[in-house]
Amino acid sequence: MNPIQEGRVVIVGSGLIGCSWAMVFASGGFEVKLYDIMEEQVVKALEKIGKQLKELEKTGMLKGSLKADQQLALISCSTDLKAAVEGAVYIQECTPENLELKKKIFGELDNIVSNDVILSSSTSCLLPTKLFTGLKHVKQCLVAHPVNPPYYVPLVELVPHPQTDPSTVDITYALMKKIGQSPVKLTKEIDGFALNRLQYAIISESWRLVGDGVISPDDLDLVMSDGLGMRYAFMGPLETMHLNAEGLLNYCERYREGIIHVLKTFGPIPDFAGETEQKINKAMCKEIPADPEHLNARSHWRDECLLRLAKVKKEMKFGKHHL
């Protein structure tokens, strides 16, 4: 199968996120080289991808215009980093979340890449200044943080190092669009980037409400899945404000004082341990015991929900840009 896009993409690390990225790039018609340190791991990863692509095709959920076999034929494995990155246009690092390991890998890449390739990290928490400072090719480096699993959730946060060339961000943004992802640009680094800052704010207040005995863990989750989440799948909190009154200014006029009043009752950061941890764990494990069998089955169901949601979003021509 000849790739339908020019330029090879290299995925460094063939774990959960690496495999998902490989599938996303192949669905967009790119030739993908999947690199890992262990031959056994990368061969197994490719087998797993093949199975998943077939399964997705069977259920009509395969992304892109190519057939599963064609997509699989675009992905090959490697355990030779130098050979893998030769001629690559884009490298997505997906190794374990360990600063020293990632710095070592970017140091190695820095010595063997050309001046054109983009070096991108999937890190969830490590800041670009920690990862890329001092590299010869720092201008070509950025964080492209996906949401797990990137195949089903399209958002990608692009976070530059202060010395990243603006063209690096722009090219990555265009590339993400091309493969059907939904990129957002942060202008500077910040702990947690945008997504985890929002997620942690929600987790924090959820923890407090359950810990204080205001609501049960199951009901708390329903507040999100049958309440806020219904809207949030289609529009963000700011547009929600805009529509929940006669526009944003009217919303602020009506609710400003109330919001500030409630926010003042938020307490300190919870410790995410102790009695509340036990209580939430017990509730979570009642229907989904924390063993691989149950967790995998539920994750599989979640991924199917996300794929169907993606279809609905497409049908609804999601986004104000389409109005």
Q: Which residues bind ligand NAD (CB under 6 A)?
A: 12-18, 36-38, 41, 94-97, 105, 122-124, 145-146, 148
Q: How far is the CB of 173 from ligand NAD (least distance, A)?
A: 18
Of residues 38 and 316, the one with the C-beta less far from ligand NAD:
38
Q: How far apart are the C-alpha atoms of 38 and 71, rounded to whole Å?
A: 23
Q: How far is the CB of 85 from ligand NAD (least distance, A)?
A: 12
Of residues 69 and 97, the one with the C-beta less far from ligand NAD:
97
Is 270 in contact with 280 (CB distance < 8 Å)? Answer: no
Q: How far apart are the C-alpha atoms of 88 and 213, rounded to whole Å?
A: 54
Of residues 156 and 220, the one with the C-beta less far from ligand NAD:
156
**How far from chain centre, in Å, is Cα 68?**
23
Q: Which residues pair with residue 78 across a beta bridge? A: 35
Strand, coil or helix: 34? strand
Find all residues with CB under 8 Å of 232, minimum gap 6, and list them: 240
Q: How far is the CB of 268 from ligand NAD (least distance, A)?
A: 27
Of residues 3 and 18, the one with the C-beta less far from ligand NAD:
18
Q: How far is the CB of 144 from ligand NAD (least distance, A)?
A: 10
Of residues 193 and 207, the one with the C-beta less far from ligand NAD:
193
Of residues 12 and 23, the one with the C-beta less far from ligand NAD:
12
Q: How far is the CB of 19 from ligand NAD (least distance, A)?
A: 8
- Please give the structure tokens belonging to residue 220: 């708390």
Is 251 in contact with 242 (CB distance < 8 Å)? Answer: yes
Of residues 97 and 219, the one with the C-beta less far from ligand NAD:
97
Q: How far is the CB of 9 from ligand NAD (least distance, A)?
A: 15
Q: How far is the CB of 147 from ligand NAD (least distance, A)?
A: 6
Is 216 in contact with 283 (CB distance < 8 Å)? Answer: yes
What Å distances lie between residue 57 and 62, 63, 66, CA to CA? 5, 9, 10
Q: How far is the CB of 120 from ligand NAD (least distance, A)?
A: 11
Q: How far apart are the C-alpha atoms of 198 and 232, rounded to whole Å?
A: 12
Q: Residue 162's CB: how many other CB atoms inside 10 A? A: 11
Of residues 20 and 164, the one with the C-beta less far from ligand NAD:
20
* CA-closest candidate to residue 75, choices 50, 44, 96, 93: 50
What Å distances lie between residue 123 and 74, 128, 179, CA to CA? 25, 9, 20
What Å distances lie between residue 13 and 138, 167, 296, CA to CA? 21, 26, 21
Of residues 107 and 319, the one with the C-beta less far from ligand NAD:
107
Closest residue to ligand NAD: CB criterion: 15
Q: How far is the CB of 73 from ligand NAD (least distance, A)?
A: 22
Kindly calculate the radius of gyration of the chain based on its CA atoms and give it in whole angstroms: 21
DSSP state, residue 267: -
